[in-house]
Structure 1
Amino acid sequence: MSPLESAMQKQMRSLVWGARSGSHVPSNTATVCRSAFHQGKRARKGGRSSVIESMDGGTSSPYSLRLSRMKTPSRLQSSALGVACAAGAATVFSTAGVIVRRIDLPAWDISFWRSALLTLSLLPLLLWQRRTLLIDVRNAGRALFASAILLAGAFVAFILALGLAPVANVLLMFGATPFTTALLARLLLGEPLHRHTLLAMAAAALGLALSVAGSLQADALVGMAVSGIVVLCMSGNYVVVRHRRDVGMAPAIWLAGLVSGLVALPFAHPQSVTWSQLPWLLALSPGQLAGGLLLYVTSLKRIPAGRAALLGLLELVLGPLWVWLFDGEKPADLTLAGGLVVIGAAAANVWLDSRSGR
């Protein structure tokens, strides 16, 4: 400890002792000194200037500003991890179209096996986390079951929508997910809607409209209505998970797979699956569905629901690109242009959020 620090600490101790013994001390001096003394101890590693600045006593002192900046990196790191998980989830989800095309089964059969394999693939994870599993179930309460029901509805409706409408029509409906998610988060959780987020959503909507403008079909209204069910279910689940981000939601994903499998079973023919189709079913369920959901749940614990849903729009851009790469179906020029707009809007929103420290 430097002589200056030692002298200043002695002075602060004498002032505090004087306040305790009833001696005259200028107004608020004892309180300021106590605060400065403890702050000085915590900031000792910062050098002599930290102790001097800690005696300011104001709420906007250099020390308090430095302390707030010290907290910023961890918050930004958590936000960056949330962005990475959301983008990773969108990338994983975007492979569904390519995989489903390689499974020659009816929609109900795919839905059943997708759900059944999901429950089986998550069992090892739940058993490994069995110590915290019961705690999560007890702490989550009704939120866990609400999340499971919403996810189960989305699981079933998604496969049915792909069988009832062209991919472009389905993606058009999925593009509404960030809007409904942000609106529900605003109404139910009180999360703010910042101006640049609203502008990014508007730009993304324009990009999605460009992407599907050349391939809309009027005879796919039923499929688009089913896609609307997926949008509502996923938006509701995002809000539920965001509300209880302190609780692990892996049990909800497992329960959703169980419920959706039971719903699809009466309409499916499980025995019709062949060994050649099994690898694709495994890629669709434990890989695409379970992996994407776990990444998305992780992202929702670190970034707002509306922002996570906006990043999820990358799925709608990457999906046609995978079909182009693996099946040789080149997207239309409008689709490519719209995709660039969506990616640019999502990237700009993330950059502006990071600058504002959220």
Structure 2
Amino acid sequence: MTASNSNHTKGLLITTIGGMTLTIDIPLIRLADGDAWSILMLRTGTTVAASLTIWLAWRMLRGNAPALIPGRAGLMVAALYAASSVTFIMAVYNTATANLVFLLAFNTMFAALLSWLFLKERPRPATLIAMALMLTGMLIIVYDGIGTGNLVGDMFALASAFILATAITISRATGKDMGFTALVAVLLPFVISVFMVAKTGYRVEAPWWILFNGAVIMPISFFCLATGPKYISGPEVAMFYLLETVLAPVWVWMIFAEVPTAASMTGGAILVVTLIAHSLWQLHDGRRRRAALAVRHPA
């Protein structure tokens, strides 16, 4: 096996671990059975503690740990990730799991739109078609939410997707290493949640689930998914984020018997199929372009 193939295999393995790990985030939040602010406090607190421990160990053992928050751009990205942590938890408690993960998948198209507007990276016609189809799926889910009382939660999910897309766009524009930024950024929602818990009271029936989530699941999933692009292409990495979209509702259905509505399944199917088709097209197009470039400029 060549070095290139070996690196590609390594990248696929790393991102598979990250994507699969992320799929149990929402089920663990639900299993903890607590109010939103108490869950947010435990989840973010343990994530910050685990991340700082990993960073300090990296710095002591190897000495080349990346900056936790690289400059002003890092502060902005950290603020965005902090806001997304809050909107995500609020969405978990105000809409169905299927709605949440399907709408969160829309961050891919939000990122494409923001890159077009601010980075002048004009989407190709296939991307514009995919964005239109995903908008259709999103509207189906949100319209259903009006009748089922999930509209507020759906709006939180969309806000979370847009905030994450904004953070990704800024990270791309700066080209700085933001690997630990998303993890330590949850310090702000941790402080806010501590304040809110002090006012409203603490309630988590099974805290070990959320402690395990924040201390193990979050660091592993985000670290692996952030490391993947070192070895495989961006479209390939993006496909592994879809694992949460596809599998999280399945785990919730198996554990809690929460059956998605017909509208949610219809809109979600449109989102998932469109994302997969668009990602596969990006992979094919990228390989075709690299092959054409190799022919034009042979070694």
Q: TM-score range by the shorter chain?
A: 0.7 to 0.9
Aligned to 2:93, which of 144, 159, 163?
163
Match of 1:190 in 2: 120
Structure 2: 5+ residue stretches without partners: 288-299
Pick closer, same or farther for the CA change 1:168–1:330 going to 2, 3 Å. closer
CA distance in 2, matches of 1:201, 1:311: 19
CA distance in 2, matches of 1:295, 1:265: 29
Structure 1: 5+ residue stretches without partners: 1-72
Match of 2:45 in 1: 116
CA distance in 2, matches of 1:195, 1:169: 27
* Residue 238 (str. 1) matches residue 168 (str. 2): yes
1:98 positional shift: 1.6
Question: Larger RCO: Structure 1 or Structure 2 (Cα < 8 Å, ≥ 6 residues apart)?
Answer: 2
1:336 positional shift: 5.2
Match of 2:154 in 1: 224
Contact 2:99–2:268 (CA<8 Å) still a contact in 1?
Answer: no
TM-score (norm 1): 0.64
Pick closer, same or farther for the CA change 1:91–1:193 going to 2, 3 Å. farther
Match of 1:288 in 2: 217
Aligned to 2:192, which of 248, 257, 263?
263
* Residue 142 (str. 1) matches residue 72 (str. 2): yes
Pick closer, same or farther for the CA change 1:92–1:328 going to 2, 3 Å. same
Contact 1:94–1:318 (CA<8 Å) still a contact in 2?
Answer: yes
Pick closer, same or farther for the CA change 1:224–1:212 going to 2, 3 Å. closer
Match of 1:43 in 2: none
TM-score (norm 2): 0.75
Range moving further from structure 2, 148-157 or 231-240: 231-240
CA distance in 2, matches of 1:229, 1:237: 12
Match of 1:15 in 2: none
Aligned to 1:132, which of 34, 59, 64?
64
Secondary structure of the residue aligned to 1:229 is helix
Instruction: Give the greater-gyration-radius structure (CA).
Output: 1
Contact 2:77–2:167 (CA<8 Å) still a contact in 1?
Answer: yes
1:314 positional shift: 4.1
1:322 positional shift: 1.1
Contact 1:207–1:337 (CA<8 Å) still a contact in 2?
Answer: yes
Contact 2:97–2:252 (CA<8 Å) still a contact in 1?
Answer: no
How many residues of Structure 1 are paired with residues of Structure 2 in the alignment?
281
Amino acid at match of 1:227: A
Secondary structure of the residue aligned to 1:217 is helix
1:202 positional shift: 4.0
Pick closer, same or farther for the CA change 1:207–1:87 going to 2, 3 Å. farther
Match of 1:101 in 2: 30
Pick closer, same or farther for the CA change 1:183–1:233 going to 2, 3 Å. same
Aligned to 1:317, which of 246, 270, 273?
246
Aligned to 2:207, which of 271, 278, 287?
278
Secondary structure of the residue aligned to 2:31 is coil
Pick closer, same or farther for the CA change 1:175–1:217 going to 2, 3 Å. farther
Aligned to 1:177, which of 107, 112, 120?
107
Amino acid at match of 1:160: M
Amino acid at match of 1:189: L
Aligned to 2:276, which of 341, 347, 352?
347
CA distance in 2, matches of 1:176, 1:322: 21
Contact 1:118–1:290 (CA<8 Å) still a contact in 2?
Answer: yes
Render the CA deviation track for 1:254-307: whole Å, top value 9, x for unaligned. Answer: 431212211211101598467x72320123213332223223323466645x88
Contact 1:245–1:300 (CA<8 Å) still a contact in 2?
Answer: no
